[in-house]
Structure 1
Amino acid sequence: MRKLVLFLIVLVSLSACQNSHNKEVRKQKEELVAIDLDDIIKRGKIRVITDYNSTNYFVYKGRPLGYQLELLQALSNTLGLKLEIVVSNDVEKNFASLLEGKVDLIATNLTITRDRSHQVAFTEPHCITRQVLVQQKPSPDNNPSSAQELIRNQIDLGGKTVYVQENSAYVSRLKSLGNEIGDSIHIVEIPDYEVEQLIALVASGEIPYTVCDENLARINLNFYDNLDVETAVSFPQKIAWAVRPNANNFKDIVDNWLINFKKTNQYKRIYRKYFINKRSNHLVDANFHSIKGGVVSDYDAIIKEESAKYNLDWRLIAALIYQESRFLPEVKSWAGAVGLMQLMPQTAESFGVEEITSPKDNIQGGLKFLIWLDKRFAEDISDPDERLKFVLAAYNVGPGHVEDAMRLAEKNDKDPYKWDDSVDYYLLNKSKPSFYNDPVVKYGYCRGEEPFHYVSDILERYTHYKNVLND
């Protein structure tokens, strides 16, 4: 009888604890920042956090690339919304940023787990993979008696030390595997290292083992030919994005989009590009990969040196040069513009450029022109970030057309010193007779679509460069 009473007391206590836990979970969900699809549409942009590695998001030869980036661009294009990307490789901070309403979507390779499902709402999976052990191949240079043998049976992980990213799904999987094999796996969680950094440490011999998703592991074989990734430590797992638990409408939109998009040839091309095809097509030279070499172009040193003279961010100038010439110093446009910064001969002469195809001379002339334009707009536009948009447009199409658009904005009761949804609109439409024939217009017709996109393209690329390149 006493045993029965004790059992009932324990059962009631457990039930009370569970109810208390459920109430706490409900309370946390009620306290979540309420941001859903309508709020995102009103804002006009999706705020996304992703991680920085050689597959999801990186820059190669000045061009932003990545599996997650291309998926996100396709999503934002479908929804007609701008895409704002921030970068973080810290899993827990990413969850916190989502739940605090700082971002709308975590777009990384998140393994769907029960524990995580209590925190966030997972989307339709964007791919399926499994976790594998990353280890060094035995080296023929080693003494055969001391060479490390490859682990092929998970049981042999008993007693071994495995280093993994802190708070990652790999931690819980290794704990479960230890229970399954009836032995201890010593798990070391590394807080400041991303998965690929741990892979590099295995390749260099600084740590013996790590665990990561198989598709990412196989990509890294292109960089480290001394690694083995053939030993699985999990069954196939669903990999997804995450949204806030109360963002039901946004989740429905993303889910439906993913379900349909995964059926398209575009998705198949993106997946093959990053996870199946050899990287030789777009990663010919790892030196130009932001993860491996961090070099944007052959002219980084000159860009940095000359930009520093004017206290300009070299990444901004690199973004502009990519837009102008794709870093080709002798390219010439149909209009006669020449060189890395596509200077017109008369502009080059005005700013003392001696050899227009010389990378250094051309960059010096282009920077002098930018500074001249900045001073021209500085009196009316004090905010340097806002003024930059006017300067970039003027660099592309000339200050006269930009000033025409400013006058049109003012005439139509818009702010002539504000770019977005004001001056940009009138410059965009300056190819229409009703705009370029207006009495306030002094410089006539302009194919405004080019400078309109020129400004947004450079600023978007500049943001990507800031995300992944050191200043």
Structure 2
Amino acid sequence: MNKFKLVILLTALLSSCNFSKDINNNRNSSSNKAGQNKNYLTTENDLAKVLENKKLVAVTDYGPTSYFVYHGEPMGYQYDFLKRFTEYLGVELDLRLEENLLTSIEMLENGEIDLIAMGLTVTNKRKKYFEFTDPILYTRQVLVQRKPEGFEKMRTLDEIESHLIRNTLFLAGKTIYVKQGTIYKNQLSAIANNIGDSINIIEDERWTDKLIDAVSDGEIDYTIADEHIALVNAREHRNIDVKTPVSFPQKVSWAAQKGQTELVDTINYWLSNYKKKLEFRLLYNKYFLNKRSTRIAKSTYNSYSGGMLSPYDEYLKKYSSIVGWDWRLIASLMYQESEFKINAKSWVGAYGLMQLMPSVMEIYGLDTTANAEQQIKAGIKHIKYQLSLVPEEVSDSIQRIKFALAGYNSGMGHILDARRLAEKYGKNPNMWDDNVDDFVLKLSNSKYYHDPVVEYGYMRGEETYNLVSEVIDRYNQYKKLIKN
């Protein structure tokens, strides 16, 4: 899409959705690059492109229900939904983060992404410019207000109700804070017009759940939220009320470029079957109805609310310099090995946070009585040792990390066997992806583990193959969600 068409599209959407930021100030005027960035998406069949590239690129927002990390595990309604679809399609998920919807629209039109997956409501205006999927959920906007002081001691529900707004007529003259860049301002403006009075609408940079916190704390009196988000927060804040609707029910869908019907039809086909499964209902309950979702949303170990990955972040940061790796990469490995469980024990006898074998723990002067700090320090030393065993010919720093991760899991001897096989069969012995990793998988086949170049015999290569892929993928998500 050229620059002129992009400006026309965004101008139309600005008028319907009341976005507040000028397009020329967004993404360093990224619209200037429109038509030049179609390295991934074009007006061709996007489904074919996704399958060819083996990757679906989507954008979502960072929030307590959409996408976050909890105790080291990437989670969120949008994230889980996208993962299930990409698993069905047999491709990887490349998930980008963006809080501003206008910027996400530019990313879609510039060909940087396949889908917008960030709670986008379907309107007739938007349908002129996007292909929408069938709804992934339904919602409506509600008024978030504080219950009266001392409501717990009030004798009747009517006494509490007398202090609350239940009719939008009584929004006249009120000051209501809304998340900047959402349709909430437009919704309130329509209400003001319908009631023939003014509403003082203040756009705020804070996320909606932070504005809900501000209502609960008495900093502000009112905000607007999608009902499913408001209900999660209402379980945490008993002093807020979210029962007053300010809109009709609305569809929430994913959006693709206009004309990309094959991709959208494929999503809809999958979605129609997925909605029939119990898993679909459980997924919704997990994030919006289950009481545990509230504890997760407010946890110290929720990347969004608490900003921590684990109880052991301090030690990971302290000792990561031993090997010179980002502490979040080591955290990803530690989650893979033990899910941050200090007394974890595998069927082969590996123990603790870093899943060290007893013989390895002995090298570092430890046993099963070691505390978390000792375990982590020893584990990082062992990573450094594995890294030292990676041949110098593997010169790329990312490839060296992957070889070291593989060696940490299975022992470097097996990885060097796979490397020799790769060289023998015409692959690149210094490249992990689609080269050495292929032969790690083949080392469970007698044809290969009996090969004369193999010194260490049979290995369960699938575990190592998956570990490297999953650790790197999780690390990439940690980098997006957790500050270094």
TM-score when normalising by structure 1: 0.88
- Please provide the CA RMSD for this pair: 2.6
Preserved contact between residue 56 and residue 68 of structure 1 (Cα < 8 Å): yes
Preserved contact between residue 94 and residue 106 of structure 1 (Cα < 8 Å): yes
- Give the CA deviation at 1:235: 0.7
Find the residue that maps to 1:222 and give its secondary structure: helix
Matched, 1:152 2:161: no
2:105 corresponding residue in structure 1: 95
TM-aligned CA distance change 1:188 to 1:380, over 3 Å = same
Query: Greater CA deviation, 408-417 or 244-253?
Result: 244-253
Matched, 1:207 2:207: no
AA paired with 2:361? A
Find the residue that maps to 1:295 and give its secondary structure: coil
2:25 corresponding residue in structure 1: none
AA paired with 1:98? L
1:62 corresponding residue in structure 2: 72
TM-aligned CA distance change 1:169 to 1:102, over 3 Å = same
1:55-454 to 2 correspondences below 5 Å: 55-140=65-150, 149-190=163-204, 192-279=205-292, 283=296, 286-353=299-366, 357-377=370-390, 379-454=392-467
Query: Greater CA deviation, 348-357 or 442-451?
Result: 348-357
Preserved contact between residue 338 and residue 357 of structure 1 (Cα < 8 Å): no
The number of equivalent residue pairs is: 443
Q: Distance in 1 between matches of 2:81 and 2:151?
A: 43
TM-aligned CA distance change 1:463 to 1:223, over 3 Å = farther
1:34 corresponding residue in structure 2: 43
1:49 corresponding residue in structure 2: 59
Task: Please list the CA deviations of residues 61-99 of structure 1 after superposition, one character each: whole Å capped at 9, or x if unmatched.
Answer: 222221111111110110000111121211111111111
TM-aligned CA distance change 1:275 to 1:58, over 3 Å = same
Preserved contact between residue 145 and residue 223 of structure 2 (Cα < 8 Å): yes
Gaps (5+ residues) in structure 2? 1-7, 13-31, 155-160
Task: Please list the CA deviations of residues 198-236 of structure 1 after superposition, one character each: whole Å capped at 9, or x if unmatched.
Answer: 222222222221111101100112322221111100011
- Give the CA deviation at 1:280: 6.2
- Give the CA deviation at 1:439: 1.2
TM-aligned CA distance change 1:283 to 1:79, over 3 Å = same
TM-aligned CA distance change 1:319 to 1:356, over 3 Å = farther
AA paired with 2:188? L
Q: Distance in 1 between matches of 2:394 and 2:427?
A: 15
Task: Please list the CA deviations of residues 423-466 of structure 1 after superposition, one character each: whole Å capped at 9, or x if unmatched.
Answer: 11110121011111111111100010110111112122222222
AA paired with 1:266? E
Preserved contact between residue 232 and residue 294 of structure 2 (Cα < 8 Å): no
TM-aligned CA distance change 1:440 to 1:84, over 3 Å = same
The percentage of counterpart residues that share the same residue type is 42
AA paired with 1:287? T
Q: Distance in 2 between matches of 1:387 and 1:126?
A: 41
Q: Distance in 1 between matches of 2:431 and 2:140?
A: 50
- Give the CA deviation at 1:259: 2.2
2:475 corresponding residue in structure 1: 462
Task: Please list the CA deviations of residues 243-270 of structure 1 after superposition, one character each: whole Å capped at 9, or x if unmatched.
Answer: 1113222111112222222222111111
Task: Please list the CA deviations of residues 402-436 of structure 1 after superposition, one character each: whole Å capped at 9, or x if unmatched.
Answer: 11111111111111111111111110121011111
Q: Distance in 2 between matches of 1:416 and 1:399?
A: 14
Find the residue that maps to 1:221 and give its secondary structure: helix
Preserved contact between residue 322 and residue 380 of structure 2 (Cα < 8 Å): no
Q: Distance in 1 between matches of 2:130 and 2:388?
A: 49
Task: Please list the CA deviations of residues 104-145 of structure 1 after superposition, one character each: whole Å capped at 9, or x if unmatched.
Answer: 111121111233334322211111111001111112299x9x
Q: Distance in 2 between matches of 1:462 and 1:288?
A: 16
Preserved contact between residue 322 and residue 384 of structure 2 (Cα < 8 Å): no
AA paired with 2:441? L
Find the residue that maps to 1:163 and give its secondary structure: strand
Q: Distance in 2 between matches of 1:281 and 1:177?
A: 31
